[in-house]
Amino acid sequence: MRRTILEGVFAGGFVAVAAGVLFARENPATGYESSVYAGTPSATWAAFALALAIAVGTAIVCRGWYQGVGIGLGTLTVTAIVSLPVIRNYRYAGMGDAMTHLGWTRDIVGGKLEPHELFYPAVHSIGSVLGEVGGIPVERALLITMVVLFVPFLVFVPLVVRNVSGSAAAIGFGAIVSWMVLPVNNVATHMGVHTNSNALFFVPVVVFAVVAYLRRRAVIERLPLGLSPFSVLIFLSGVALLLIHPQQMVNVVVLVGAIALVQFLARRRYDDHPMLEHPTAYAHAAVLGLVFLAWSASNERFRDAISSVVYGLFAADVGAGTEVGQREASLAEIGGSIGELFVALFLDAAIIGLIVGLFVLAMWLGRTKVERETAAFVTYLALALIPLGGILALYFVGTPTMAFRQIGFIYVVLTILAGVAVAHLAGGLGRFVTRPGANAIVALALGACLMLGLLTVFTSPLIYDPGQHVTDQQFSGYESSFEHAAEDRPHAGLGYDPYRYDHGLYGLEREDVLSGATIETGEVDPDRFGAGNYSGAYHGVDYYLTVTEYDLTREVDVYQELYYSESSLAELESSPEADKVISNGEFSMYAVDGTE
């Protein structure tokens, strides 16, 4: 392709991204949106689709500077998609842990909490700084923080692949797979203000430092005391990851420890191997492990997390199998299935995982032409998946949420390996068809996976989980409800405990903060509520019931009245047991008299 034509194509791609952002910005959310995809104008999606089509094609076909521009175009487009809550002026997004993180950030801004008093203060500290420096609300600052911590994933995955392989094709394919955002599974990892998920996107920075340390051995780069600059980068990036979320730091320690163990075994087994020329990672694994233990051992949250895993291992009714069975039964009642949900959430991940697994097996059996240096790095990362998989097995039995978080980390590693694997797949196809034909086939397959991955990067009714968009009306409604409510009267919701809003609005560093359950649970009993027994639906006591547009969308439209029916909600309006005391269009609160 002639240079002028190619540059014109790139210009069109960047103009498309700019136009898509402009269309989205000119159409902000005016009320609660159950799907950011449906709420965003079609023109935006058309523009982003054009930009991604150009990015995929040029990342595969072009080399050198132009390949970098193509990767940059794709990175910019995916970043714009992830930034849609910011671009479309969402007040906030996230009603669970995200609200608690918002509360801690408010406490830091208000001087009620020092960052070092938190177990993982990085997200809150960055949000505080952005809010203070930019003069923007804390909610918006945290949404921007989410984007800031996401970008390193898109930037460093192709950089790691470049150090692992050096193949231009592998770099391009690695970049495309990173755009699928496979670490997000919307079971336990999410695109939002969720520190564990935010930490996943920083992991490639640490992996880049490790790979660069192993590969680049110039003596003139040494610092005093014989330290490599990349050793310093490993320690600094490891500490940064620890402060974002310690669980992912544990996985990095296991990863580096596995590399160190492979090096030790290679030195005992081989006389001539690329691994023998790599500097050892023994000290790095030990130092990172000690840093983690020093930070975590005395922390109560860490001890509680360990206790919950141990309890789950021995409890008969805890585990991913139990949870999957419960989800399958609920989905069947509303016309869905686990198979359908698997396709939406995990099909692209399963395809990439299968490609990587077959490639690694073929490489170890000597069926591929891989340079010895590249094979060494692939072996490092592939063998590290064994202990990481062992941790996954423990989590799977003990705590399902932790299991799916572990899958998120594993897919960070698989995303890196996918660049090399898909490049060899395309090369293999080139022996049966022309090389351009092989590239076209792989590009189409990756494009389909990319579309599926980006369609599920945010929650939406497509995966039976409406978006957790928090509007101004919801915030103002909860603020009024907490300020004017009687102190001895608990708050309850429909399948959702309102205490998180108390965290988000007022922080957690005060005496009267609501706990994780106002009495025993913050949810009204669906059976009694559905039968019209509003007085007895919440432990028989007087209570406040909050109903938001999010609740109605989830229970009526998405869950199809599985737990709470539209008729029972309508009858609540005229019930003598309930008195509507707050209403603003998207938020209603009822004072309900109990039976006791």
What is the per-residue pLDDT across 265-319, written as a single tens digit (0 to 9) for each? 999 998 888 999 999 999 999 999 999 999 887 766 666 666 655 655 555 455 5
User: H helices of 430-498, where?
Assistant: 435-455, 472-484
So what's the pLDDT on residue 94? 93
The two structure tokens encoding residue 528: 């009694």
pLDDT tens readout for residues 449-468: 999 999 999 999 999 999 99
175 band by pLDDT with thresholds 50, 70 and 90: very high
547 band by pLDDT with thresholds 50, 70 and 90: very high
At position 89, the amino acid (one-letter code) is N
So what's the pLDDT on residue 308? 59
- Does residue 437 carry a pLDDT above 80? yes
State mean pLDDT over 70-98.
96
Write down the residue that tokens 């072996």 correspond to: 379
pLDDT tens readout for residues 103-125: 999 999 999 999 999 999 999 99
Residues with Cβ within 8 Å of 523's Cβ and at least 6 positions away in sequence, in order, are: 492, 493, 494, 495, 496, 497
What's the CA gap between 503 and 487, in Å, rounded?
Answer: 16
What's the CA gap between 130 and 123, in Å, rounded?
Answer: 11
551 phi and psi angles, rounded to 5 deg? -60, -45
H helix or E strand, kind and range, residue 151: helix 138-164
What's the CA gap between 349 and 347, in Å, rounded?
Answer: 5
Residues in a beta bridge with 583: 588
So what's the pLDDT on residue 216? 72
Other beta carbons within 10 angstroms of residue 151's beta carbon come to 17
Residue bearing the bigger pLDDT, 354 or 342: 354
What's the CA gap between 170 and 174, in Å, rounded?
Answer: 6
- Please give the DSSP secondary-structure letter assigned to residue 220: G
Residue bearing the bigger pLDDT, 323 or 177: 177
What's the CA gap between 312 and 397, in Å, rounded?
Answer: 7
Nearest Cα to 108, choosing from 89, 91, 130? 130
β-strand pairing of 543-548 with 491-493: parallel
What's the CA gap between 179 and 177, in Å, rounded?
Answer: 5
What's the CA gap between 463 and 346, in Å, rounded?
Answer: 11
Output the DSSP codes for 498-542: THHHHHHHH-S-STT---S-SSS-SB--HHHHHTT--TTSSTTS-
195 phi and psi angles, rounded to 5 deg? -60, -35
583 phi and psi angles, rounded to 5 deg? -155, 130
- Does residue 219 carry a pLDDT above 60? no
What's the CA gap between 327 and 335, in Å, rounded?
Answer: 12
Whether 200 contacts 189, CB under 8 Å: yes
So what's the pLDDT on residue 401? 80
In this predicted structure, which of 224-228, 436-440, 473-477, 486-490 has the lowest mean pLDDT?
Answer: 224-228
Sign of CA dihedral 510, 516, 519, 524: positive
Residue 14, exposed/middle/buried by CB under 10 A (0-12, 13-18, 19+)? Answer: middle
Residue bearing the bigger pLDDT, 471 or 509: 471
> Torsion-angle region of residue 560: left (phi > 0), alpha (psi -120 to 50) or beta?
left
What's the CA gap between 168 and 172, in Å, rounded?
Answer: 6
State mean pLDDT over 383-396.
94
- Helix/strand/coil (H/E/C) assignment for every residue in 84-137: HHHHCCCCEECCCHHHHHHHHHHHHHCCCCCHHHCCCCHHHHHHHHHHHHHCCC
Domain limits, the chain = 91-463, 471-592
